[in-house]
Structure 1
Amino acid sequence: MTENKTKNLTLFALTWPIFIEILLHMLMGNADTLMLSQYSDKAVAAVGVSNQILSVVIVMFGFVAQGAAILIAQNLGAENNKTAGKIAVMSISMNLLFSLLLSLGLLIWTRQILGIMDLPSELMGEASSYMQIVGGLIFVQALIMTTGAILRSYGHTKDTMMVTIGMNILNVIGNYFVIFGPFGFPVLGVVGVAYSTAISRFIGFIVLVILLVKRSDGQLNFKSFFRYEKLHVKSLLKIGIPSAGEQLSYNASQMVITYFVAQLGTVAITTKVYTQNIMMFIFLFSVAIGQGTQILIGHMIGAGKIEDAYQRAIRSLRISLVISLATASIVYLSGTSLLGIFTDNSTIIEQGAFLLLMTVALEPGRAFNLVMISSLRAAGDVKFPVYIGIIVMWGVGITVAWFFAIYLGLGLIGIWISFIADEWIRGTLMLRRWKKRYWVDMNFVAKKEEV
């Protein structure tokens, strides 16, 4: 965590480990789906709906992790290393307390939460078992997110990548034992997969903490774990809550859309799960570029390099657009074969293949959002993405999904039409906001207030 390391960061050096890390996180989810598909399509649907709910909870942890990542990057850019260290430790403590409360809520009210989703009765048993185990221990994921965000802000993206590799290996090994029962091991199905996920996450967190302490070089102030400074808490919440708010709104709107899909039946739920698992491999490029860009822009803003920050976002967007369009096209051409890995149900394969064709139009729009929203956050313009997100996701996304999927009876095709409309409208507005440079004035005002 030396000054040289933080000053010599490049997009490629930051992004490729982030890309591998995100890829492995996605592979962990896909490993659960793929291995469970050998057990039961119903089990896949049950876990898919549970994970849709858990993803909303995980985003709620993100307000601390996001705020910490941006503040640490800005302070490192301004060479305020001690302040960065205080914020790092404080953010871990805050997210631990918050996540423990949410974990308890998921454990106690599992069936009530799943009941809101109008889940088919045949899926309720396995879905509730999975969510009680993974949800009850979800606080570990909050700690992983926060610790990983801190390491990435300091430029140690390879560390988080290596830990994710280890977590994936442990998760796959665990899944193999509980699903296929080798050497007389009991076949536990969904419950076993839940335990495998929770245990691999816990071990991953322990390793991340060890690495954080090792890399800190004495810059972390552990007193901040118990003693919060009002100024830092205020700054973290000012950035973190709106940053997570956009993601929370997105995931909440996806829950509503999943509710619509649940009304279409188990086959529709399973098709959506399989298709979106494949789609993850398309947009992970944009996610990685967005996160790498956020770190760079945070350092640039802290150092006062406004024009460099502006050009960095535009260049990152161009790279992301080209890669996402090319990848989506390749995935569509291989769609039938990819879906065949998960299932031999011809209806699911046919519907999923057409949805992948629509994804070619969807993913460039998503690239706009992933890169430009990350750039706006790093520059301190955190409220605009939330306001636009709420208006477009709920005013356009949900409305279009209901109209085309339910009212016109287009099913999953109608759902994908809503995805396309939502991503492109929001993405265009985010790019316009960045080009207007309102964030420059915001940073000028913020520095004036500090003085």
Structure 2
Amino acid sequence: MKKDISNRKLTLFALTWPIFIELFLHMLMGNADTLMLSQYSDDSVAAVGVANQILNLIIVMFGFIATGTTILIAQSLGANQKKEAIEISYMSIAANFISGLFIGIIVFLSSNQILKMMDLPIELIPDGSIYLKIVGGLSVVQALIMTIGAVIRSYGFTRDTMYVTIGMNIINVIGNYLFIFGPFGFPVLGVQGVAISTVVSRVIGLIVITLILVKRVDLSLRLKKLFTVPIYHLKNLLKIGIPSAGEHLSYNTSQMVITFFVTMLGAEALTTKVYAQNLMMFIFLFSMAISQGTQILIGHHIGARDYDSAYKRCMRSLYFAIALSIGMGIVFSFFSEQLFSIFTDSQSIISVGSILILLTIILEPGRAFNMVIINSLRAAGDVKFPVYVGILSMWGVGVPIAYYFGIHLGYGLVGVWLSFIADEWLRGILMYFRWKSKVWVNKGFVHAKSQASIEKRKTSLQA
């Protein structure tokens, strides 16, 4: 029997801990690739690291639909508009299915040219290209997983997507082991094997998460229904998604430019950056999970027109995320040498990487501001302001400082990290004042059908 979201009380903890585990496992999957490839070749790590930056940019393209999906469904459920929520689900799945096919074909046909544009050293291009062709060429699988996962999480079933991610990780690690180390007569395929393992785990994950969607939500994936949903839902998805994607796109492209600067410092600097950022992912994981859980709750509050609860929820989540990010930064800095030793024996990489993790103690609280408040603003329908500020800060502050301190003054990766700190803190402070101003009130996209439904939802939501 399908559960009714309107009869369930949503709390930040109930939503966030499965999201945390899911994000942790997503990052663990990427780090498993890096760790296991580091036993095969440091060059392979660098090649896959650059390829993954391109794939992250592709994920942004899928993410703008997924982001709109999460917000619109949460607002619809908050306003007790269940039919609208179902129609939004259909529309988002159809939109990302088409875009996933289109982008996958482009990446498959132009992987070499893309890597050359990234100025990847010529000897690393074969590994990077095969990874891009396999993982990027089948991007439609990831697009559908992201979209279906967004639908399920918006209904409050965050544990279900967590279980799918656990299974995908197990399959991925087993596949990596078989293709990298070659037990039981399996061929040693290196980067190609890691790519195959990634895709196989995602295909299996897609099958399972689709079955969960049909079970949890009153939604049957018939092809006719996917393409007969009212078009205004797509317009609303794009109104939220395109500005949100613009902010993510600006961030990822600025990071690609900064990575280009790092390639000027040599392969060792590039490898150090990949290892350091893989470790940093675990530090800001808490802020990311809190921000996503907060987004769902605020979406429900906005749909129910409970603006006071939405405001307080964001502020409580923000303070919690800042405290956790500082604490995790200190812990990782204390054990930084041991953590880098998991990936490499190079003392120069370990030495520079430890300095970068120390700087992360300053960096991560600024990132917490951005994650929590930007997701809260999006949930409230205030989606354009973060884009304008993001473009101004990333390209006017982050990129120039990275080049000036990292390349021109010769501070290397330390200079690059200083640019990250300046960018995150500037954006974070501006987002904080935006939320405090309450300009976002009444920017929601869903209009409740009756005052009675609003009052009913107010009583069922819990901060």
TM-score by length of 1: 0.97
Counterpart position of 1:282: 283
Q: Distance in 1 between matches of 2:98 and 2:248?
A: 21
Q: Does 1:132 align with 2:143?
A: no
Partner residue, 1:79: 80
Match of residue 61 from structure 1: 62
* Count of paired positions: 450
1:335 aligned residue: 336
> CA offset at residue 222 of structure 1?
6.6
216-225 or 7-16, which moves further after superposition?
216-225
The answer to whether the aligner puts 1:439 opposite 2:440 as a matched pair is: yes
CA contact (8 A) 2:303 2:447 kept: no
Q: How does 1:22-421 map to 2 (within 5 A)?
A: 22-217=23-218, 223-421=224-422
Mapped partners of 2:418, 2:426: distance in 1: 12
Kept in 2, the 8 Å contact 1:88–1:220? The answer is no
Looking at structure 2, the residues matched to 353 and 205 of structure 1 have their Cα atoms a distance apart, in angstroms, of 38
Letter of the structure 2 residue corresponding to residue 356 of structure 1: I
CA distance in 2, matches of 1:369, 1:449: 33
Q: Which moved more, 1:336-345 or 1:129-138?
A: 129-138
* C-alpha distance in structure 2 between counterparts of 1:182 and 1:446, whole Å: 55
Contact 2:6-2:77 within 8 A present in 1 as well: no
Change (3 A) 1:4 1:197: closer
Partner Cα separation in structure 2 for residue 348 and residue 63 of structure 1: 36
Shift of 1:442: 2.6
Taking the aligned partners of 1:26 and 1:183, their CA distance within structure 2 comes to 28
| 1:208-228 residue CA offsets vs partner (Å, 9 max, x unmatched) | 000000111458887440113
Q: List, as ranges, runs of 4+ consecutive aligned residues in structure 1 with deviation greater than 4 Å.
A: 1-7, 218-223, 445-451
Task: Write the letter of the residue equivalent to 1:191.
Answer: Q
CA contact (8 A) 2:79 2:449 kept: no
Shift of 1:184: 1.5
3-state SS of paired residue (1:404): helix
Give me the identity figure in percent. 60
Deviations 1:268-293 (A, max 9, x none): 01000001111100001000000000
Give the Cα separation in 2 of the matches to 1:5 and 1:327: 36
Amino acid across the alignment from 1:276: Q
Q: CA RMSD in A?
A: 1.7
Q: Is the 8 A contact 1:400 1:414 kept in 2?
A: yes
Distance (Å, rounded) in 1 between the aligned partners of 2:123 and 2:77? 52
The Cα offsets for residues 128-174 of structure 1, whole Å up to 9 and x where unpaired, read as: 11111111011111111101010000001000000000000000000
Distance 1:2 1:298 in 2: 19
SS at match of 1:439: coil
CA 1:39/1:122 → structure 2, altered by over 3 Å: closer, same or farther?
same
Contact 2:5 2:156 in 1 (8 A): no
Aligned equivalents of 1:232, 1:118: Cα separation in 2: 40
Displacement after TM superposition at 1:402 (Å): 0.7
CA contact under 8 A between 1:3 and 1:79: conserved in structure 2? no
**3-state SS in 1 of match to 2:228:** coil
Q: Is the 1:404–1:414 contact (alpha carbons within 8 Å) kept by the matching residues of 2?
A: yes
Q: Which amino acid aligns with 1:35?
A: M
Q: Give the counterpart letter for 1:81 in structure 2.
A: K
Pick closer, same or farther for the CA change 1:419–1:412 going to 2, 3 Å: same
The Cα of 1:7 is off from its aligned counterpart by: 4.6
- Report if aligned partners of 1:365, 1:427 keep a CA contact under 8 Å in 2: yes
8 Å CA contact retained: 2:303, 2:448: no
TM-score of the superposition, structure 2-length normalised? 0.95
Kindly state the Cα deviation for residue 58 of structure 1 after the two structures are TM-superposed.
0.6
When residues 102 and 421 of structure 1 are mapped into structure 2, their CA distance, relative to the original with a 3 A threshold, is same
Identify if the C-alpha distance between structure 1 residues 415 and 299 changes in structure 2 by more than 3 Å, giving closer, same or farther.
same
Three-state SS of the structure 2 residue aligned to 1:119 is coil
| Post-superposition offset of 1:230 | 2.1
In the alignment, what sits opposite 2:457?
none
- Consecutive unaligned residues in structure 1, runs of 5 or more: none
